[in-house]
Chains A and B, each alone.
Chain A
Amino acid sequence: MSGSARSEIFSRLREASRGETEENIQRERLSLGSAPSPMPPTPENCQAFILNVLNNQGSVDCVSNRSEAVKAIAHYLYTHFHNYRLVAGNDPRLAAMPWRDAGVLPRFGSLEAGEPVALSFARLGVVETGAVVTWTSKANPAANNFLPEHHIVLVDKNDLVPTMEQAWERINHALETTGRPRGINFIAGPSSTADIEGELVYGAHGPHRWHVVLLGDIPVDAQNIARAAPKDQS
């Protein structure tokens, strides 16, 4: 059935198409250039990224090294859960963190029922949307993105890119060198819905809290913005 459907559909499409050569089609697409993107809220990348994460109803910690990152995560866990447990994918970058220094007890694998917190290490952060980018793999099982109550995401400052176009440049390069993952996820905030009378509610299906830990040499102004944002203790 599908075979004849396919050939019938394609023959109608060929009739409607301009019948250009591949070369001409590629050339025409190239000539159309790239899309305009919105101006960032401020020119400095870290600051703009943090502002957008906060706009997305996320919270942010700025840390300058891995030991501080572990401490910040420990603090977050204790504040919300009074313990130090979380689940993380088998990401060598996460395995190499000095967890014991702050008493954090990560379980490496995919989130299971009853586990409320997962940690991911983002491949990229997109300044334009305040989104983090992860892809599905052993290092970041999909369940860890979409099933926890709280999703914590580490982002290296060096992995921030200004626009989605630049994000794709980096992703395309990765796809060529390390192969295509099954899923690429841009995540910009906790899961939300406005399906009941337009009222916005967080935690529709996935995380109702989303916390970003920005790692690296972060300008003081940017750090101050993250620090000044109100922290929800729920």
Chain B
Amino acid sequence: MEQHSDTFLDNASEALKNTGQAERRDKIALFASQIRTAAIDSFEGFDDLRHHVKKIRQHSLDNLDYYLSQFEKEAVHNGNQVHFARDSEEFNSLVLDICQQHDARRIAKGKSIVTEETGLNSFLQSAGLNVMETDLGEYIIQQAGETPSHIVSPALHKSANEIRELFQQKHDLGHRELQKTSDLVAEARNVLREHFLQAEVGVIGANALIAENGYSMLVTNEGNGDLCANLPKVLIICTTIDRVLPRAEDATAMSRLLARSATGQPHSCYTSFYSGPRREGEIDGPLETHFVLLDNERSNILSSDYREILECIRCGACLNHCPIYTSVGGHAYGSAYSGPIGSVLTPLLTSLEQSHLLPNACTSCGRCAEVCPANIPLPDLLRDLRHEEGIKKLSAPRWRYGLKLHSWLARHPSIYQTLTATSIRILHRLGRKRGGFSRLPFTSGWTSQRDFPAPQENTFMQLYKAKMKQNNER
């Protein structure tokens, strides 16, 4: 998709003005974290599982050349064609070529964030193809001409009312009012069923590739990916080179983490493994199947200090628990990947120059690392990116000088303590009556939303020293 992370701050301010969406995000953040906690509390071995899967992922990445070539060999053995793409352009052209070889006009697409990353839909559409997203959330935002706001629930930002209005505009509803949510779902089901039956090519993503047997794993609740994989004559499975795991049981072990972290379910409804075309005697299924595997910087990330980000299983938990994401929503990030994972991944997939604002969209609260089922130290990676940003002088000069000043002060404790003690005393005197300030220099980010409390008279260090002195005198 088109990237506009360079305007993150404006995007975020704009998003904060839409109070309806902000309220819904607040509710969903609360709900999502509660159901995740409940799912994990009821599985005693969750932490052991996390460690186990982490080791498997590390082992796979350590030997990615071996496992990827094993996967390729097995997938070809199963009758697939396997293609590699260095970047989005190559990836999109490969998919278009396959569609054109079959004179395809209609494409049924399952959810695939990789194809969001490469902007596949608009590429195929500009070549005259009719591409229909079939995951309900993706379908809704496609109809609305928007982009996903969440890696798991792409239409999270839309209310049922907005979706009803959208269907009223786009579908021929006659007198039907679609009052209930189930009416909306049924409406989309009917429209999409037609498309499934007519599409010549199905495109799906994959949660994992399995080296030992050449299958892909796809996890969904709707079953739309399975219709894409089984009904059209040609199937294209789109994913990235880092998704390979050694064994099938490794993929299902990962799915244990995924469902609980993503939706608070103990497992998703459909866990499907696909590899190859219709077998002899079979009466349905695609006649030709392709894997298109994208690199797009991942082989470089593999040899960088950010390698661990490749262990992400795309569960969305870090988004649901991030105070920045839940305040400004996914669109502000201006990238296919939002939230903490997006703030690390986007600069690595594009460039720090384009996306350096994202690693700053962080309060260092650490919740993302706490909930990440892949145990990725997201706050550390974000800090490292900010460090690089500083070295490359990408941030605004006043920020850099401010940080320099702070670091100098931190290395000169006596000056630091004198300065803070003086300013605290002044603030204490000035704010004593009202108990707080509605405006202060340099703090508009804070005071635009709430008062700044007036500090107590003494700093922590002053109190600490007094206490130590008392103790010594006793």
Contacts of A37 in B (CB 8 A): 45, 256
A-facing residues in B268-293 (Cβ within 8 Å): 268-279, 281-286, 289
Contacts of B249 in A (CB 8 A): 34-35, 164-165, 168
Contacts of A55 in B (CB 8 A): 266
Which residue of chain B has the shortest Cβ distance to A55 in the bound complex? B266
Determine how close the nearest CB of chain A comes to the CB of B292; give it in whole angstroms. 9
User: B164-207: contact bitstring with A at CB < 8 Å (1 yes, 0 no)?
Assistant: 00000000000000000110111001001100110000000000
Stretch at the interface among B2-10, B86-94, B447-455: B86-94
Contacts of B223 in A (CB 8 A): 146, 191, 204-207
Which residue of chain A has the shortest Cβ distance to B185 in the bound complex? A201
Which residue of chain A has the shortest Cβ distance to B231 in the bound complex? A143
User: B72-95: contact bitstring with A at CB < 8 Å (1 yes, 0 no)?
Assistant: 000000100001111000100110
User: Do the beta carbons of B134 and A205 come within 8 Å of each other?
Assistant: yes
Contacts of B160 in A (CB 8 A): 196-197, 199
Contacts of A205 in B (CB 8 A): 134, 189, 192-193, 196, 222-224, 227
User: Do the beta carbons of A203 and B137 come within 8 Å of each other?
Assistant: no
User: Do the beta carbons of B269 and A56 come within 8 Å of each other?
Assistant: yes
User: Do the beta carbons of A191 and B221 come within 8 Å of each other?
Assistant: yes
Can you name 26 A-B residue pairings with CB atoms under 8 Å? A5-B86, A5-B90, A9-B299, A13-B68, A14-B65, A20-B62, A32-B59, A33-B52, A35-B250, A35-B253, A35-B256, A38-B266, A136-B279, A142-B229, A145-B226, A167-B252, A168-B252, A182-B285, A185-B271, A186-B271, A192-B269, A196-B158, A197-B160, A205-B134, A206-B222, A206-B226
Contacts of A124 in B (CB 8 A): none
Q: Does A189 contact B (CB under 8 A)?
A: yes
Contacts of A16 in B (CB 8 A): 64-65, 299, 302-303
Query: How far does the alpha carbon of A113 sit from the alpha carbon of B194 in the complex, in Å?
Result: 11
Determine how close the nearest CB of chain A comes to the CB of B139; give it in whole angstroms. 9
User: A166-206: contact bitstring with B at CB < 8 Å (1 yes, 0 no)?
Assistant: 01100110010001111111111111111111110101111
User: Do the beta carbons of B213 and A180 come within 8 Å of each other?
Assistant: yes
User: Do the beta carbons of A129 and B283 come within 8 Å of each other?
Assistant: no
Q: Does B263 contact A (CB under 8 A)?
A: yes
User: B48-80: contact bitstring with A at CB < 8 Å (1 yes, 0 no)?
Assistant: 110011011001001111101100000000100
Q: Does B136 contact A (CB under 8 A)?
A: yes
User: Do the beta carbons of A183 and B285 come within 8 Å of each other?
Assistant: yes
Q: How many residues of B contact A (CB 8 A)?
A: 100
User: Do the beta carbons of B222 and A2 come within 8 Å of each other?
Assistant: no
Determine how close the nearest CB of chain A comes to the CB of B444; give it in whole angstroms. 34
Q: Does A81 contact B (CB under 8 A)?
A: no
Q: Does B462 contact A (CB under 8 A)?
A: no
User: Do the beta carbons of B222 and A204 come within 8 Å of each other?
Assistant: yes
Q: Does B246 contact A (CB under 8 A)?
A: yes
Stretch at the interface among A21-29, A67-75, A91-99, A218-226: A21-29
Contacts of B415 in A (CB 8 A): none
Q: Does B241 contact A (CB under 8 A)?
A: yes
Which residue of chain A has the shortest Cβ distance to B49 in the bound complex? A36
User: Do the beta carbons of B272 and A184 come within 8 Å of each other?
Assistant: yes
Q: Does B13 contact A (CB under 8 A)?
A: no
Q: Does A141 contact B (CB under 8 A)?
A: yes
Q: Does B247 contact A (CB under 8 A)?
A: yes
User: Do the beta carbons of B59 and A22 come within 8 Å of each other?
Assistant: no
User: Do the beta carbons of A188 and B213 come within 8 Å of each other?
Assistant: no
Determine how close the nearest CB of chain B comes to the CB of A118; give it in whole angstroms. 12
Which residue of chain A has the shortest Cβ distance to B273 in the bound complex? A184
Contacts of B64 in A (CB 8 A): 13, 16-17
Query: How far does the alpha carbon of A175 sit from the alpha carbon of B266 in the complex, in Å?
Result: 27
Contacts of A9 in B (CB 8 A): 84, 86, 241, 295, 299
Contacts of A193 in B (CB 8 A): 136-137, 185, 221-222
- 15 other A-B residue contacts (CB within 8 Å) besides A55-B266, A129-B266, A188-B267: A29-B246, A32-B56, A136-B279, A164-B252, A168-B248, A175-B213, A186-B272, A188-B271, A193-B222, A196-B155, A196-B163, A203-B185, A204-B136, A204-B223, A205-B189
Contacts of B278 in A (CB 8 A): 182
Determine how close the nearest CB of chain A comes to the CB of B117; give it in whole angstroms. 16
- Please pick, from B222, B253, B270, the residue contacting A185 in the complex, using a CB distance under 8 A: B270
User: Do the beta carbons of B185 and A196 come within 8 Å of each other?
Assistant: yes
Q: Does B300 contact A (CB under 8 A)?
A: yes
Contacts of B192 in A (CB 8 A): 205
Which residue of chain A has the shortest Cβ distance to B245 in the bound complex? A29
Q: Does B428 contact A (CB under 8 A)?
A: no
Q: How many residues of A contact B (CB 8 A)?
A: 78
Query: How far does the alpha carbon of A188 sit from the alpha carbon of B268 in the complex, in Å?
Result: 7
Q: Does B419 contact A (CB under 8 A)?
A: no
A-facing residues in B91-127 (Cβ within 8 Å): 93-94
Query: How far does the alpha carbon of A34 sit from the alpha carbon of B52 in the complex, in Å?
Result: 8
Query: How far does the alpha carbon of A15 sit from the alpha carbon of B307 in the complex, in Å?
Result: 14
Tell me whether A146 and B226 are in contact in the complex, defined as CB-CB below 8 angstroms, given that A1-B90, A37-B45, A187-B270 are known contacts.
yes
Contacts of B197 in A (CB 8 A): 113
Which residue of chain B has the shortest Cβ distance to A56 in the bound complex? B269
Contacts of A214 in B (CB 8 A): none
Query: How far does the alpha carbon of A138 sit from the alpha carbon of B281 in the complex, in Å?
Result: 6
Query: How far does the alpha carbon of A73 sit from the alpha carbon of B434 in the complex, in Å?
Result: 75
User: Do the beta carbons of B222 and A38 come within 8 Å of each other?
Assistant: no
User: Do the beta carbons of A13 and B299 come within 8 Å of each other?
Assistant: yes
Tell me whether A192 and B184 are in contact in the complex, defined as CB-CB below 8 angstroms, given that A5-B90, A14-B65, A16-B302 are known contacts.
no
Q: Does A39 contact B (CB under 8 A)?
A: yes
Q: Does B305 contact A (CB under 8 A)?
A: no
Contacts of A196 in B (CB 8 A): 136, 140, 155, 158, 160, 163, 181, 184-185
- Please pick, from B159, B266, B276, the residue contacting A180 in the complex, using a CB distance under 8 A: B276
Contacts of B213 in A (CB 8 A): 172, 175, 180
User: Do the beta carbons of B44 and A39 come within 8 Å of each other?
Assistant: yes
User: Do the beta carbons of B269 and A191 come within 8 Å of each other?
Assistant: yes
Contacts of B137 in A (CB 8 A): 193, 195
User: Do the beta carbons of A25 and B189 come within 8 Å of each other?
Assistant: no
- Please pick, from B24, B224, B256, the residue contacting A38 in the complex, using a CB distance under 8 A: B256
Tell me whether A22 and B69 are in contact in the complex, defined as CB-CB below 8 angstroms, given that A191-B223, A193-B222, A194-B263 are known contacts.
no
Q: Does A6 contact B (CB under 8 A)?
A: yes
User: Do the beta carbons of B230 and A142 come within 8 Å of each other?
Assistant: yes
B-facing residues in A104-142 (Cβ within 8 Å): 109-110, 113, 128-129, 131, 136-138, 141-142
